[in-house]
């Protein structure tokens, strides 16, 4: 059941007014909203609830159902400002390089795995970067939660304000956004484990229908919306159980195999973060049960 009870437009206007001096001094470009990186690394229930009536006014953003403490990421390069309120709970503004301002509302405020509401709004609980930090698209900036009037119903309320002005419907931007496989600042060292079905292999590539991902170092398994990932198989890779990986052409497997694929340690790039074809290098692969 969709049970959102999210912040109304008066909260948005108050926050934007308070942050106006920061925006004016930021030297950002002014232009159209760019293609975004999706704001979460997690399986997400997305539908258009912008403009819906709420007890405290018109709904100024999109609510998305996502797991508690799922990684929340920057949708474009920019800078961060912390904020908090009674209704919105723990919030932040992302002042995008394009001139667009984004709002992330109902971030985590729990200290434990229980809904304890004891963490307040600060770095290490709600946010993963310092107040005022410059960030890159796909970098983790917060954790999803249920602070404010979302208590007991973890979800992300997300708003888009082109040219730092009035809110617009974020739905079309979220629908075409590139979904991240993991969260990292540009250049950070990472490796991944991807669970799913191997559906094609050969010609130095392997195609996986992935439904779960784990990031190293320090990550946990996350369910994701099933998606096609094309891994590059470097020369000299030991194929192990999958001799097809060294075939001369990329061919569908007669019977898809349940696998976990592990990528080589690499530096994060925009392509790697969103799982672009060939941006991830296969290290090894093992059969798994569903």
Alpha helix stretches (DSSP H) within the chain: 9-18, 20-24, 171-175, 270-273
What's the DSSP call for residue 265? Answer: P
Place of tokens 């020369």: 235
Place of tokens 């925006």: 23
Name residue 142's beta-bridge partners.
Answer: 72, 127
Distance (Å, rounded) from C-alpha 143 to C-alpha 69? 5
Residues 6+ positions from 99 with CB-CB distance below 8 Å:
28, 29, 30, 31, 162, 163, 164
Q: What is the CATH number of domain 9-175?
A: 2.70.70.10
Q: Tens place of pLDDT for every residue, the chain, 290 residues? A: 234 444 443 344 344 444 443 443 344 555 689 999 999 998 998 878 776 666 676 667 888 888 889 999 999 999 999 999 888 899 999 999 999 999 999 999 999 989 999 999 999 999 999 999 999 999 999 999 999 888 888 989 999 999 999 889 999 999 999 999 999 999 999 999 999 999 998 888 899 999 999 999 988 999 999 999 999 988 665 555 555 555 667 788 888 999 999 999 999 999 999 999 989 999 989 988 76
pLDDT, residue 31, reads 63
What's the DSSP call for residue 21? Answer: H
N-term to C-term CA, the chain:
27
pLDDT, residue 23, reads 40
Percent helix, strand and coil across the chain, each to the nearest 5: 10, 40, 50
CA angle at 8 for the pair 19 and 62, rounded to the nearest 5°: 90
Tokens of 162: 């082109």
């Amino acid at each position: 059941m969709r049970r959102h009870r999210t912040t109304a437009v008066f909260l948005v206007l108050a926050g934007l007014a308070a942050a106006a001096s920061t925006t004016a001094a930021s030297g950002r470009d002014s232009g159209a909203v760019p293609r975004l990186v999706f704001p979460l690394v997690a399986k997400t229930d997305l539908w258009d609830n912008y403009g819906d009536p709420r007890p405290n006014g018109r709904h100024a953003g999109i609510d998305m159902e996502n797991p508690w403490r799922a990684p929340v990421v920057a949708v474009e390069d920019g800078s961060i400002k912390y904020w908090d309120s009674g209704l919105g709970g723990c919030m932040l503004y992302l002042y995008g390089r394009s001139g667009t301002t984004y709002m992330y509302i109902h971030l985590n405020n729990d200290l434990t795995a229980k809904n304890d509401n004891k963490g307040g709004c600060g770095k290490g609980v709600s946010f993963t970067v310092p107040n005022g930090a410059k960030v890159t698209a796909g970098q983790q900036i917060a954790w999803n939660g249920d602070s404010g009037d979302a208590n007991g119903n973890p979800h992300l309320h997300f708003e888009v304000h082109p040219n730092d002005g009035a809110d617009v419907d974020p739905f079309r931007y979220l629908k075409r956004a590139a979904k991240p496989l993991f969260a990292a600042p540009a250049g950070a060292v990472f490796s991944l484990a991807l669970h799913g079905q191997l559906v094609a292999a050969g010609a130095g590539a392997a195609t996986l229908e992935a439904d779960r991902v784990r990031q190293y170092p320090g990550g946990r398994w996350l369910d994701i919306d099933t998606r096609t990932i094309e891994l590059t198989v470097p020369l000299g890779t030991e194929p192990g159980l999958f001799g097809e990986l060294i075939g001369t052409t990329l061919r569908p497997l007669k019977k898809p195999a349940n696998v976990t694929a592990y990528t080589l340690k690499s530096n994060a790039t925009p392509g790697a973060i969103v799982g672009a074809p060939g941006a991830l290098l296969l290290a090894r692969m093992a059969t798994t049960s569903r």
